Structure 1
């Protein structure tokens, strides 16, 4: 009767352990999707990428402003002494005439005038003006704006690359945390079994049906399992901390963990999308082509117009005589620059060829990456299936060995061997399923098949 009771108790412990391992995959994926959205919203690294994207948007807005009129206020005030002078013999020219006029009129109405020495530098003089300028034709401004627009596409691809990598990391870290919980549950069940075996062996020794050695061996086995359980709990805490780090949550935040189903995912979860790494290289090639056209545009003339509205004269004087306007058109055409532009064009051409080779190589590498990820996933599925079968065999073997030991037909060391084999196979099954989930996330990343909400 006692043997049947112990057997049923162990079966209940085993079933509860299996119930903790096998659950609903749909519920887990729902929780995981929620965490992924939280990570995409809160991750600090992704925020940095968004800041860089926003910076590129403002760079494009800046480039567009070069097509608009520009108004500048400039002013100057001059005070001078000395310097170059010009002599104006006003006295020598006018004084004889004035003297004759005074004699004729018998008066002093025409005074004598002194010669003048006028300096070239003005003194107590100001000049203030608003200059409005507008480019009429400048090809370099057009190509600069196109470059800025293409750099936005490049940065957007950079953000998407980071997002896909973050999704993979969140999934892998969540799977690792779930596996660590399963490992804790398996070892907790193993500790419970070890305690039950210790109690049963103590009963045998007290009834003189076994020697003291079996109790010592049971105690040592229990101590070893409890040590492994403590280490598994620390590993689970570390996995939870890293997962919270990815989500930018406090490291001790409680993680919502749904029961997992160890049904293998599909070999081909989603149709493949275009890798953002290729989009980045394509944008880089377009930027380089525009840079080449920008260099060629320096051969073209630049035409612009301006108008000045200002006032100049003695300081603090402002009237109709000091006000002025000045309108003009400027033409700037580079005639010779020592083949500088040709060298720039050649550099852009070589850079374009290098990017083309890099793009071709990247396509081959990504195809290889996808193929390798698919093969690893399929291999992990096969290993996990073998691990599941091994657990079933180990479980049946342990039950048979336990029955024999209860009947006194088996040594305790043989029962321990069956028990350790069962525990190790259960842990190996949990690890193999983690490997399946990890390989599935890697395959999804390689194919860029995750659809962002």
Structure 2
């Protein structure tokens, strides 16, 4: 096992070198990251979070509003003003003394409390002076942006993993079909040879029938391979938001011998996972909420400035115009101990977030370790399949020579060819397992470099 954990960087370098040569896969990854519908939805959520952060920042700025009120009323409460009763006796005396009617009689007045044909139009400017909640709200909204960015990155990594896995399955299905096609050519050649031998009187009808049965079996396997190719292609194209029957370019990644060298991933860990960053951000948010709740005794002070006009009869003149400046302050005195309970609740949420992070670190670390073991097992399995393939190829050559020399039977050639086909399929599947294990470990350790 010590030889399995020697060098991490070398395999990473070989994988990245293979990716550099693998332009088709790179192009598909970029296309998927640009066109995937779910990723577009995640980006819209990110834009929403960015807008919310801008709104939180704008709370520091003054707010200017136009406030217009118009009302007209009749009836309601009123007050009687006995102006005539008070002034008419005086006016009568003055008229008598002056022998004139210079002081006419006036009537008593009734004044309604509700104004008639009244308007009040003003421009109000408000400005927060001391508002601690605004600063904490800004921090929380900024944290929300970071959380949403992490969500986008998390889905990108999952999408990259799915695209790679789907692409590898498609390539593997294509190679499996090619193996069956090669096997079919050999089977058809065997039928042709046995048919000639039978026609010459030296062959056996059973061999011809057995060859036809082998061909039918291989054709059935090829039909199943065609189905797997189509299904893999449909799923791959859906991930890229392309038509289901869009052409998929082949890639030489399965033939890259450098990729199959046994190296070590021992130093990889889960420290770069966006999930942990999100949990750290969540802890920071809970800490901000605790601090914000602790400052409930700090008064909230705002200032305002009104510039407007109010009058009855829609008049607008020097008497109707006015301005007003003022301050407002709000401070809790008694709220049934609710503020202290909020602080305690926020502390509990903070402790829960910290515990959740500890659990996540444990689970993600375990996931990385399992992915390493899976990769090492896949490498070992590939080495075994190579040995089996070499033995099967040698055995097939020997049997084929023996059959040509009349030493071995045709049934033995079929068995040898079947063993070689199985070994070739096992090697192809083993390469797929390594690619899948590499992709899984790359995802669990968050080592894939996203294209800019």
The reply to whether TM is greater than 0.5 is yes
Of 267, 270, 279 in structure 1, the residue corresponding to residue 263 of structure 2 is 267
CA gap 1:425/1:262 in 2 versus in 1, 3 angstroms: farther
Describe how 1:412-427 pairs up with structure 2 within 5 A: 412-427=410-425
Instruction: Report the equivalent of 2:148.
Output: 155
The answer as to 2:230 corresponding to 1:232 is no
The answer as to 2:105 corresponding to 1:108 is no
Q: Distance in 1 between matches of 2:355 and 2:142?
A: 24
CA gap 1:274/1:266 in 2 versus in 1, 3 angstroms: farther
The answer as to 2:440 corresponding to 1:448 is no
Please, which runs of 5 or more residues in structure 2 have no aligned partner? 1-16
CA gap 1:25/1:233 in 2 versus in 1, 3 angstroms: farther
Instruction: Report the equivalent of 1:69.
Output: 62
Q: How many positions carry a matched residue from both structures?
A: 430
What is the deviation of 1:265? 4.9
What is the deviation of 1:94? 0.7
What is the deviation of 1:28? 5.2
Please, which runs of 5 or more residues in structure 1 have no aligned partner? 1-23
Describe how 1:44-123 pairs up with structure 2 within 5 A: 44-123=37-116
What is the deviation of 1:434? 0.1
Tell whether the 8 Å contact from 1:140 to 1:298 is kept in structure 2 after alignment. Answer: no
The answer as to 2:245 corresponding to 1:247 is no
Describe how 1:131-150 pairs up with structure 2 within 5 A: 131-150=124-143
The answer as to 2:402 corresponding to 1:408 is no
Instruction: Report the equivalent of 2:175.
Output: 182
Q: Distance in 2 between matches of 1:258 and 1:155?
A: 34
Instruction: Report the equivalent of 1:216.
Output: 209
What is the deviation of 1:31? 2.6
SS in 1 for 2:22: helix
Tell whether the 8 Å contact from 1:28 to 1:258 is kept in structure 2 after alignment. Answer: no
Which range moved further: 206-215 or 37-46? 37-46
Q: Distance in 2 between matches of 1:202 and 1:27?
A: 50
CA gap 1:363/1:265 in 2 versus in 1, 3 angstroms: farther
What is the deviation of 1:268? 3.8
Instruction: Report the equivalent of 1:398.
Output: 396
**Structure 1 length normalisation: TM-score?**
0.91
Instruction: Report the equivalent of 2:119.
Output: 126
SS in 2 for 1:356: helix
Q: Distance in 1 between matches of 2:129 and 2:427?
A: 73
Tell whether the 8 Å contact from 1:267 to 1:374 is kept in structure 2 after alignment. Answer: no
Q: Distance in 2 between matches of 1:118 and 1:201?
A: 124
Tell whether the 8 Å contact from 2:127 to 2:303 is kept in structure 1 after alignment. Answer: yes
Q: Distance in 2 between matches of 1:237 and 1:62?
A: 49
C-alpha distance after superposition, 1:226-246 (max 9, x if no partner): 111121012112112212222
**Structure 2 length normalisation: TM-score?**
0.91
Tell whether the 8 Å contact from 2:77 to 2:112 is kept in structure 1 after alignment. Answer: yes
Of 181, 190, 203 in structure 1, the residue corresponding to residue 196 of structure 2 is 203
Over aligned residue pairs, what C-alpha RMSD do you find? 1.7
The answer as to 2:9 corresponding to 1:35 is no
Q: Distance in 2 between matches of 1:407 and 1:104?
A: 161
Q: Distance in 1 between matches of 2:430 and 2:61?
A: 63
The answer as to 2:285 corresponding to 1:314 is no
Q: Distance in 2 between matches of 1:430 and 1:257?
A: 15
Q: Distance in 2 between matches of 1:191 and 1:25?
A: 32
Instruction: Report the equivalent of 1:7.
Output: none
CA gap 1:28/1:120 in 2 versus in 1, 3 angstroms: same
Q: Distance in 2 between matches of 1:324 and 1:244?
A: 69
Which range moved further: 257-266 or 45-54? 257-266
Which range moved further: 25-34 or 430-439? 25-34
SS in 2 for 1:67: coil
